[in-house]
A and B are shown apart, each in its own frame.
Chain A
Amino acid sequence: EPEVTQTPSHQVTQMGQEVILRCVPISNHLYFYWYRQILGQKVEFLVSFYNNEISEKSEIFDDQFSVERPDGSNFTLKIRSTKLEDSAMYFCASSPHRQETQYFGPGTRLLVL
């Protein structure tokens, strides 16, 4: 069964460094998402992406965040200058169409020191 994959599974970085989290959505899906979950807190929406552009973003998704679909399979989240409070589990998700079931990847655990 097709699934969303994410790399790396864990990433440790120093405050102020740039990180890129990578995702491969399910191949025939058109909508892509990033969510994050700070330890012990709710899963929070960051951004959704369709037709090579952001369709919606949250207040969390400020100028230090960016997303890209560099080729036909990958979907990336870049954090330009990481802060301590960016430490969280980052989940990528995809759905066939808008407002359909979202399928989540296993997540990347990011730790900013």
Chain B
Amino acid sequence: KQEVTQIPAALSVPEGENLVLNCSFTDSAIYNLQWFRQDPGKGLTSLLLIQSSQREQTSGRLNASLDKSSGRSTLYIAASQPGDSATYLCAVGFTGTASKLTFGTGTRLQVTL
């Protein structure tokens, strides 16, 4: 079964710290991986998309890496700010599916002052 796991489930860091969120997936046959941010009771905001042929993508203070062979992706957030507090979701497009995304349970991040 194709599954996506995110560890840790929750993380609290002081403002200014660099941090890494982890995502693992059970099947290395993927076509892309997408990171989202979800604020409480809100929709999903797309942060980064990594195609299977890529190893990383960067947007501002965010950097996402992909290691297909080991079934892992990381989201690196530099110089964290209180406004980064949210749940971060990893979603994988597995090969053999038309276009659906399979989501992890997310990591709830709190950045404290």
Contact = CB atoms under 8 A, between A and B. Distances in A.
Nearest to A6: B43
6 contacts: A42-B104, A43-B101, A45-B101, A56-B100, A58-B100, A102-B34
Interface size class of A (residues with CB under 8 A): 20 to 34
Interface string B15-41: 000000000000000011010100001
Interface stretch (A64-72, A76-84, A91-99): A91-99
A87 interface: no
A100 interface: yes
Contacts of B34: 101-102
Secondary structure call for the A interface = strand
B99 A107 contact: no
B49 interface: yes
A104 B100 contact: no
Nearest to A55: B98
